[in-house]
Structure 1
Amino acid sequence: MRKSYRFGLLASCILPFAAHAQEAPQPQDSGIGSDIVVTAERREGTLQTTPISVSALGETALQQLQINRTADLMRVVPSLVVASGTVDPTTLTIFMRGAGQNGGTWLGFESAVGLYVDDTYFSRLTGANLDLADLERVEVLRGPQGTLYGRNTLVGAIKYVTKKPSDTAFGDFLGEYGSDNLVRVKGTVSQPLSDNWAALVTGNYFHRDGFFNAEALGDKKYGDRDEYGGRAAIKYIGDGPFGVYLTGFFSHSENAGTIGVAVNPTTLQNARDDIYTYLSPTRGFGKNFTYGGDLTLSWKGENVELKSITAYLRGHQEFVNDLTGGRPGNSAENGYLIGFNELTSDSKYRTFSQEFQAIGDAMDGKLSYIGGLYYFRESGWQMRQDYVLYTYDTLPQMVYPTTKSYAAYGQLTYKITDAIDLVGGLRYTKEDKNVSGVTQASLTDIRLVPVGGKLKAKAWTPKAGINVRASDDVFLYASASRGFQGGGFNYLALAAPLAFNTSFDPETVWAYEVGAKLSFWDKKGHLNLAAYRNDFSDILTSMTVPTGSSLTQNAGEARVQGIEWEANIRPIPELTLFASGAYSHGKYTAINPNSDPAKAGAKYIPNVAKWQYDVGFNANIPSGSMGTFLIGGDVSYISPRYLGGTNAPMTLLDKRHVVNAFVGWQPEGSRLEVKLSAENLLKEEYYVYGNVIGGAYAMRSPGDPQTFRLSVKYSY
């Protein structure tokens, strides 16, 4: 019955394609190689004249590169390291240029890379690794974005730009079927409602059977994933200076949690040769539900635009997970045992934000400015309960965190000449964090004791830069900026009130960058280069201590620097070649001798890969009345890097090469497209997570296996 339902859902998405297949095609973005419009500086500009390191992928490029969810961005964006979370594959761990956060599942932890949908900030990385549905493009901004974007953009931001209603009707639909009974359906429809209003509705559904052999559970297809969601938007499109844009969305996911194979922490050998083997008798479970909306009101004058951006979000997450993947028992009678810790959690949160913004020009266009006020509030609760060493069933730990943040910011760009700009910006941020709750006194002392505290922080985050338009094909820039991320408490301390109450200080960075954006061969080729240096103070690192607690500490001062490149060339209209990559180097410059990284003799900054690259091509081959044949592929590489701050051998992820490819066909004169794609074509076995806790228990979580998809797409 389930399979019949999925095939029916797929067919219902494909049938409208056939009915309209002979409609005349309309223009789309040209994919990789196009100089698309971006809003990285909170106003529209072209990619090649935006004076920051930004990767921009339009809808066509996302499809060509098989970027289906946020974690896939790591393959193609320089200096970006993204992985699924430790207990839930829809929760992200994001690092960029040397900083990030490993505890995205916990309300007390915040990412160093800001996550935005249009102009709305998402404070939680929980549920962020969902299917990408109705995107116009993705922008990944590298370097501190504190002046214009604010909260927790210490080293960068990821911005999803959604499709907007317009005065012209449009729609697109996609249906896919693939390996392990993969079903993916999504669609977007936009329609004018009158001369003054237009509306948009989008929906998406994803299912995939599991590909793990759960020996203890007798399930050879363990690890199902189900996701669905939708968004609706209405926009005022009439004449006049006023604008109204209102959206609402929801997303829902259910899965078996992050699944991994048990590992011997001393020999680092897997308990089973097959990396897709799960040994625990614990049936993992993960569930996320997020919903919310935002309202943007605007007014345009002759040289100024005023905006009000109001957003409200709510989320609910539950999960059960064996953090070490289980292990065989000591005898046949014992069967299989959970590992060091079976973890259960239930949490809810809500956020509210309000931003007032002014964008404009003055002095006959010589001066451009943007300024604003920002308020953010988050509150919630989280319950945690642990079953440790299949002996200690802890009492439920409850925490109630609240965060308030206030900011004022401004940035000016002044044209000294037609070719040279000076940039200056400044943001002031004030944050108050409070947490209260209870936790068990210790593993053997079965009492609930109070925990909590208060933190206050203030920060100035300036930016200064210069832009030079040397010619129509050469754009140069240099900048210095400061980034800030607030401190917090160690919410992951297991039955350890003292560790919980031990706070960590804010992390800051001074970042220096020079870059060049070059066009050549009559705009058929582009080469963007950037060299950066990040000097961190009170850099945050995460580690798991022998008691099982995962703690965050300020490890001291560190320097991460590197070179990044993105290039593409279209030698003929039918062929695009592209490459991107980064060389990075990180080291501690003044490590805190009392920190665990210092005690462990750690030498490497977590999640800094020395080399990253992606190389590929896309080709459209016209064939007269038979239509156009499509072919493309890319190979991505990332060198070894440590996940943990103490550089424990178990947290070292090996290098990996992943090859993706596709072939497709577009009938002559239609908007129908049929494609066969392959992810991880060469069956590379690699890991996205690894950890050791309790001294004798360890687990690695593998990346997805080889996956084939057959898709049908139609747009109008």
Structure 2
Amino acid sequence: MSNQLIRRAQLMTGCATILLLAAPAVAQDAVTPPAAAQRAVDAARPVQYAAADMAAPAAETEAVGLTDIVVTATKRETNLQRTPIAINVLNTQAIKDRHVQSLFDLGDGAIPSLRIAPFEARQSALTLGIRGIVPLDANQPAREQGVGVYVDGVYLGRQHGLNAALFDVERIEVLKGPQGTLFGRNTEGGALSIVTKGPSGKFGGRVSGSIGNYGSYNSEAHLDLPEFHGFSVKLDGVIQHQDAITKNPLAGQTGWGYYDRQAFRAAVRWQPTPEITNDFSYDNGRDSNSPFYSQLLNFNPNNCVAGTQAASPNCALPGTSYTALTGTVKPVLPGVVIEGDKRQKVADIGVPQQPSVDKTHGFTNSLKWKVTPDLELRSITAWRGVTATQWDNSGGAHRPPIVSPGCTGTACNFSRYSLANLSQDQFSQELQAVGSLGTVDYVAGLFYFNERVSDDAATPNSLAIQGYTTAGQTTGYQYVVLDPCLTIAGVGAGSQPGCRSIDRASAVKSKSYAAYGQATWNVTDRLHLTAGGRYTSDKKKGALLFSRNVNYVTNPVAAAANGYTPLDETWNRFNPMATVAFDFSDTLHGYAKYATGYRAGGASSRTSNYQAFDPEDVKSYEVGLKADLFDRRVRINLAGYIMDRKDSQVDISTIQFQNNSSFNNLVTINAAGTTKIRGIEADVTVNPVEGLTLNASYAYTYTNIPLVPIVNIQRNAAGVETSRTTVLQRFYIVYTPRNAASGAIDYELPVGGGDTKLRFHLDANYSQATQAFDQFATKNDASFLMNGRISLADIAVGNGDEKLTVAVWGRNLLDKDYVFRRDPSNSLPGAPTTNILSGSVNNVLGDYGNFNAPRTYGIEATVRF
């Protein structure tokens, strides 16, 4: 453990000690209303204490300071401050204030320990991480995420479709640390639980519309229908649109950073008796989008030249041991712009590109039966699916293959067009029993998950240059669009379906079975002991159908020559959890927690042998303190944790070239030893006067993966090994800043004598630079983003309960540009050849990267009735 980490741990311990010493004074001096005190005792007993019961007492404490926050992290409604889990909650107002339309908008760092970024440059699939559990490429069908995403209790199996438009969200709960007992499936880093608003049974609703820069417009409609014979219906519709933020010079082609989303949801609640509630919902969404522009940030930054490795000491892929470098570094194409400091508003070279399209749909049925006042039985049944069609031409001339002056034929082709299709269907069934026996509160459940996923991918070139004779020429050349059904030597090389050379295709079937239980013994009114466990059995069968346009189904000999083995594995785990929680007073709560989690193994379809990898396991030790101080004017939540991860899944990414095109080869391996993840988190909310709320959050995360030995083998022309060299390679955890912080100011001022209020919101979010690839030390940029909103809310209109809210909003108010993803693979030589430990610099170009979204702003009007 570093000295810096020790100092932070000491600081956290000191803060906790001060709060512990202050506990008697807090207990004596704080003004706690009787209703709030009773609620604090009842918070852990939710069967009798439903959310509806919680709403009434909250009004009594509203005038006293900060109000209670309801969460369902323990599968029951509890008070956030009394729940012994590190949790952040974004409610409806916070989501609106930050203009969060999809999960991608939380990537600005609203919750410092939650990291969200698009996979590659694409908006169509999101990489999520909490506390340093961030898989780089969970984009593959046979690989799992490290953070579980749930919508109304339903687990979403793929990261595709996660950027769909959010519906009428009541709150987003971010549960940190392993949640292997109650949430379970692939929740090593935690879980992100989205809770939507259900039917109320009363007529009402709201309609909103917004327009902004970059041609953006957004509209929402939410309608609640009155109850009829026990049935209540709620309808939600959402439209979100933004034009491209980087224009495409090629006429009629989609630019970069564009999106157009539509989504619809219908929910029906049936309450035949007061004890039975059945919620059925159907949702359907369509997200049409384009990637962020991949800019060339520099040119040959490692000074690569042909010759000995010693002549170019920085020109080497990590983990390699070259004997020599061969080839020639080529100049950039005519007209190519090298820009590493700011986002390009117009691309230097226009390319063919059409929007990628994600389609999501789902059916969910949630049945709750309160058998007795102390027992509730639940059933959550869900069918979900997502299809993704990718058209990603984000790089153009900024990515290899590189064209040489004087080229002829196919050697003049470039502009890698990444095309992919994915189809996923899942079914899940969960049964729960939530209840109390005397002083013991318990949750028990069974879980079943069945998933089928298939994908394919192709990377043809989309452009060619003609008349290119001399480096740096300014006239006499032209760029032409290649035939989308081009065929080279009998092999498809175009972009249209049926004309493609398939780089890879795979199909995977996954099943997961689990049984879990958790019980809390309320030893006294202050001491609470919790123990739980989950047994999981994961079965995964996968097949690589194509690799480098070789059909493995019809050509098993070629498949065997590449070392291909289908995936057929079963992994079983038992994940225990234990927590000791103590209420020092009605407003000061502490806990110590031990928990484990695991992520299933799989296989990489980006390799020709479908290389398999094993699961990884995490052990976590956490202490936390939650306090409401000074008559509930100050709320402080602190957490410190130690996580040890074994068999970490890490990625080795290289670019391979064939047929004048490029292929991203990605190998996932298990790093031996123990990966260390250590962290401190702090959240402070202050309500100094009525109407003013100040928030600050901070996350410190230390990560260290042990050095991994990479073996480089040299063979002679006959394929016989002649020597081998072992290189110790450093790997990194991506998108995990050492320091991250967020702060917000909210002020509400009554206007006139009615309910009208003037509201101000401003938030600022900071993240230290961090790696974007497992094997590269190269970092992206540090970021500092500010968002704001000013609204005149609840203006009375009409003769009834209609209210109008008018607001102006802005994201990235300072219009800061930063690279959120920096890829150095273009600036390094290719992987060593099979027989000779040499690397070619023929396709060395430079680092390329993706900039964040620019400043966006707009005006919004909402009518509530």
State the TM-score, normalized to the length of structure 2. Answer: 0.74
Q: 297-306 or 664-673: which moved more?
A: 664-673
Query: Secondary structure in 2 aligned to 1:580?
Result: strand
1:36 aligned residue: 69
Distance 1:324 1:224, change over 3 A: closer
2:622/2:640 contact within 8 Å kept:
yes
C-alpha displacement of 1:563: 0.6
Question: What does 1:383-402 correspond to in 2, within 5 Å?
Answer: 383-387=456-460, 393=493, 394-395=501-502, 397-402=504-509
- Rate the CA distance shift 1:377–1:625 in 2: closer, same or farther, 3 A: same
Q: 1:221 offset after TM fit, Å?
A: 5.6
The amino acid across from 2:575 in the alignment is T
1:414 aligns with 2:521: yes
Of the three residues 438, 446, 461, the one matched with 2:575 is 461
- Deviation at residue 609 of structure 1 after TM alignment: 0.6
* Cα offsets for 1:400-434 (capped at 9, x unmatched): 11001111100010011110011101101011111
Per-residue deviation, 1:281: 2.1
Q: 2:363 aligns with which of 273, 280, 293?
A: 293
- Closer, same or farther: CA 337–141 of 1 in aligned 2, 3 Å: farther
SS for the counterpart of 1:71 is helix
Determine the structure 1 residue equivalent to 2:746.
618
Alignment check: 8 A CA contact 1:344 1:386 kept: yes
Q: Secondary structure at the match of 2:291?
A: coil
Q: What is the CA deviation profile of residues 253-280 of structure 1, one whole-angstrom value per residue up to 9, with x for unaligned ones? A: 1122343213446429972365235446
Q: Give the deviation of 1:197 after TM superposition.
A: 1.3
Q: SS in structure 1 opposite 2:508?
A: strand
Q: Deviations over 1:37-90 (max 9, x none)?
A: 110111110111111011111101211233332123242213111111225303
The residue identity in structure 2 corresponding to 1:61 is A
2:377 corresponds to: 306
Cα distance in structure 1, aligned partners of 2:424 and 2:595 = 32
Shift of 1:111: 0.9
Aligned match for 2:849, one of 689, 697, 700: 700
- Bigger Cα displacement from structure 2, 510-519 vs 79-88: 79-88
CA apart distance, 1:212: 0.4
Larger radius of gyration: 2
Q: Is the 8 A contact 2:507 2:545 kept in 1?
A: no
Match of 1:20 in 2: none
Tell whether the 8 Å contact from 1:632 to 1:663 is kept in structure 2 after alignment.
Answer: yes
1:538-577 alignment runs, 5 A limit:
538-547=647-656, 548-556=664-672, 557-577=674-694
Deviation at 1:667, TM superposition (A): 5.7
Name the CA distance, whole Å, in 2 between partners of 1:441 and 1:168: 58
Task: Please show how residues 265-284 of structure 1 align to structure 2 within 5 Å.
Answer: 266-267=300-301, 271-272=338-339, 274-276=342-344, 277-278=346-347, 279=349, 281-284=351-354
The answer as to 2:67 corresponding to 1:55 is no
- Determine which of 595, 604, 609 is the counterpart of 1:481: 595
Q: Aligned match of 2:281 in 239, 247, 254? A: 247
- Inter-partner Cα distance in structure 1 for 2:138 and 2:210: 30
Q: Which amino acid aligns with 2:745?
A: F
Aligned equivalents of 1:307, 1:621: Cα separation in 2: 43
| 1:490 aligned onto 2:617 | no
Query: What residue number does 2:770 align with?
Result: 641
2:747 aligned with 1:713, yes or no? no
Give the equivalent residue in structure 1 for 2:812: 680
- Asked whether the equivalents of residues 280 and 337 of structure 1 are also in contact (C-alpha less than 8 Å), the reply is no
Q: Match of 1:10?
A: none
Look up the SS of the partner of 2:101 in the other structure: coil
Range that drifts further, 300-309 or 117-126: 300-309
2:97 is equivalent to residue 64 of structure 1: yes
Q: Aligned partners of 1:158, 1:30: CA distance in 2, in Å?
A: 28
Residues in 2 aligned to 1:250 and 1:428: alpha-carbon distance in whole angstroms: 33
Cα offset, 1:478, TM superposition = 0.8
2:449 counterpart residue number? 376
Encode CA deviations 1:116-140: one digit per residue, 9 max, x unaligned.
0011000111111123221011101
Residue of 816, 821, 829 corresponding to 1:689: 821
Checking the alignment, whether the CA contact within 8 Å between 2:576 and 2:596 is kept in structure 1 is yes
**Amino acid of the residue matched to residue 508 of structure 1?**
D
Aligned to 2:637: 528
2:621 to 501, 504, 512: 512
Once the 2 structures are TM-superposed, how far is the Cα of residue 623 of structure 1 from its aligned partner?
3.2
1:188/1:359 CA distance change after superposition, 3 Å: same
Distance 1:594 1:188, change over 3 A: same
**CA shift for structure 1 position 549:** 0.8
For 1:408 and 1:454, locate their aligned partners in 2 and report how far apart those are by CA, in whole Å: 23
**Distance across 1 between alignment mates of 2:235 and 2:72:** 23
8 Å Cα contact 1:232-1:248 kept in structure 2 = yes
In structure 2, how many angstroms separate the alpha carbons of the residues matched to 1:320 and 1:620? 45
Q: Give the partner amino acid of 2:819.
A: Y
What is the aligned partner in structure 2 of residue 592 from structure 1?
708
Distance 2:825 2:301 in 1: 15
- What residue in structure 2 maps to residue 8 of structure 1? none
Give the superposition deviation at 1:691.
2.3
- Kindly indicate whether the alpha-carbon contact (under 8 Å) linking 2:502 and 2:548 is maintained by their aligned counterparts in 1: no
State the shift of 1:380 in Å.
2.6
CA distance in 1, matches of 2:87, 2:768: 22
For the residues of structure 1 that align with 2:286 and 2:66, how far apart are their CA atoms? 34
**How many residue pairs align between the two structures?**
679
Q: 2:730 aligns with which of 591, 598, 602?
A: 602
| Residue in 2 that maps onto 1:343 | 418
Displacement, 1:30? 8.6
The residue type paired with residue 810 of structure 2 is: A
Q: Is residue 439 of structure 1 aligned with residue 525 of structure 2? A: no
**Rounded Cα–Cα distance in structure 1 between residues aligned with 2:176 and 2:573:** 20
Secondary structure of the residue aligned to 2:502 is coil
Q: CA deviation at 1:490?
A: 0.7
Q: Secondary structure at the match of 1:60?
A: helix
> Deviation of residue 620 (structure 1)?
1.4
**Root mean square deviation, CA, Å:** 3.1
**C-alpha distance in 2, partners of 1:316/1:679?**
30
- Give 1:52-451 correspondences, 5 Å limit: 52-74=85-107, 75-215=109-249, 222-264=256-298, 266-267=300-301, 271-272=338-339, 274-276=342-344, 277-278=346-347, 279=349, 281-302=351-372, 303-322=374-393, 324-327=395-398, 341-363=416-438, 366-387=439-460, 393=493, 394-395=501-502, 397-440=504-547, 449-450=558-559, 451=564
- Residue number in structure 2 paired with 1:18: none
Letter in 2 for 1:374: F
Percent identity, please. 26
- 1:396 Cα offset (Å): 5.2
Question: Quick one: structure 1 residues 285 and 331, their matched pair in 2 at CA, closer, same or farther if it must change by over 3 Å?
Answer: farther
Q: CA deviation at 1:453?
A: 2.0
Tell me, in whole angstroms, the C-alpha distance in 2 between the residues paired with 1:288 and 1:204. 15
Q: Is the Cα–Cα contact under 8 Å of residues 70 and 129 in structure 1 kept in the other structure?
A: yes
Equivalent pair of 1:580/1:614 in contact (CA under 8 Å): yes
Q: What is the deviation of 1:537?
A: 0.4
**Distance in structure 1 (CA, Å) of the matches to 2:702 and 2:640:** 12
Per chain length, whose mean CA-contact separation is higher, i.e. which structure has more relative contact order (CA < 8 Å, sep 6+)? 2
CA distance in 1, matches of 2:711, 2:160: 28
Q: CA deviation at 1:655?
A: 0.5
- Residues 320 and 344, structure 1, Cα contact 8 Å, conserved in 2: yes
Task: Write the distance in 2 (CA, Å) between the matches of 1:300 and 1:332.
Answer: 78
TM-score, normalised via structure 1 length: 0.89
Does the 8 A contact of 1:232 with 1:247 survive in 2?
yes
Show the 5 A alignment for 1:648-687: 648-649=777-778, 652-666=779-793, 668-669=795-796, 671-687=803-819
SS of the equivalent of 1:417 reads coil
SS at match of 1:82: strand
- In structure 1, C-alpha distance between the alignment counterparts of 2:195 and 2:597, rounded to whole Å: 23
User: Is the 2:358–2:387 Cα contact (8 Å) retained in structure 1?
Assistant: yes
